[in-house]
Every structure is written in C-alpha cells, then in structure tokens.
Amino acid sequence: MADFNQILDAGDVDGGIINVVVEIPAGSNHKIEWDRKLGAMKLDRVEPIIFAKPTNYGFIPQTLDEDGDELDALIVTDQPLSTGIFLEARIIGVMKFVDDGEVDDKVIVVPADDRNNGNAIKTLADLPTQLIKQIEFHFNHYKDLKKAGTTQVTHWGDIEEAKKVIRESQQRWQQ
C-alpha cells in the first residue's frame, strides 16, 4: 500500500479544501487505523456494535495532533466510504475533543464536490442537529463499556478554528 504521508499533503488549508484518507467507513464498529511505520491500514480492535461510527472517519496527511497521531477527520456523506481511499474535502468545522487527557480533535468535512447534495453543506450549522447530537454522544460514550478511559467533547468550532487546528498539526508534522 502507498504511504499516504509521502504522497499526499494536507491540501489547500487556507482555501478550505483538504485531502483526507478514510480509515473507518460510517456504520462500522471496526477500529481501523493507519500504521505510519508499516505504511498500511491495520485493524486495531473491534468495538461493540452499539458504538459503530456515526460518520466516516479518517485522517489528514502530513499532520500530527497533540496525541501524536495524524489529525483525525469526520467525513459526512450519505453513504459509507471505503477504507484506504482519499478525497478532497471541504472543511466545515472542528469538534474539540479530549481522549484520556490528551487533545484528539476531529476536523469535520464533507466531500468538496458533492453534487448530489448541491454542495449545500458549507458550515456545521448546515448539518442536521440530530447528526451533531449523535456524533457528540458517540465520542462522549464510546469508552463507557471499557474498564478504563474517559472522553469528552469540549466544544464545536467553526471553519477558521478548524484551519488553525490543521495548521498547528502541520507544524508538529514538520518538526
């Protein structure tokens, strides 16, 4: 498999269109992660089905979040996307998130060229309120059935805050 971090960069952060690699399809309870050292996708674990991902889940190449992993992205689409593909995505916001005491933010994106939806989703305010609630519930509770671990969505940020998070993650990658 190709090493996404060598081939792809984060994209046009200032222009709001970034590259995102899909790790987990929406609706899956398989925790699939990019293994940077091996250059391959790896099944890390199988979560309880009740905690299947409410959106597609991936990462932004050539970024590192404060937890030491590539910066995560939640990709909102009508249908699940396949593991291992990449897409150009429009930034619509960020979910500020803490996982076991570490910052583990999630940039929220939609496909940059989503003609079926008329490219109607431009900001978090354009998402259905129920979807925002489902995402927040998922990330606040997906460790509840485990013996250890705490998670907390601290707040939702706009496009500019998301771009700031991405830029900071790009700087960590370069260092």
- DSSP one-letter code for 70: P
Q: What would the two tokens of residue 144 be?
A: 């509840």
Q: Is 31 annotated as a binding residue?
A: yes
Taking CA atoms, 75 is separated from 90, 140, 146, 172, in Å, by: 9, 18, 26, 23
Q: Is there a binding annotation on residue 45?
A: yes
107: its two tokens: 């940039």
Q: Does 42 count as an annotated binding residue?
A: no
Ligand-binding site membership of 105 (annotated): no
Q: Is 104 flagged in the annotation as binding? A: yes
Closest CA to 73 of 110, 29, 117: 110
| Residues whose CB falls within 8 Å of the CB of residue 174, separated by 6 or more in sequence, listed in order | none
Half-sphere exposure at residue 18, Cβ-oriented, CA atoms within 13 angstroms:
32
Amino acid in position 74? L
Annotated binding site for substrate: 31, 45, 57, 142
Annotated binding site: 31, 45, 57, 67, 72, 104, 142
Annotated binding site for Mg(2+): 67, 72, 104
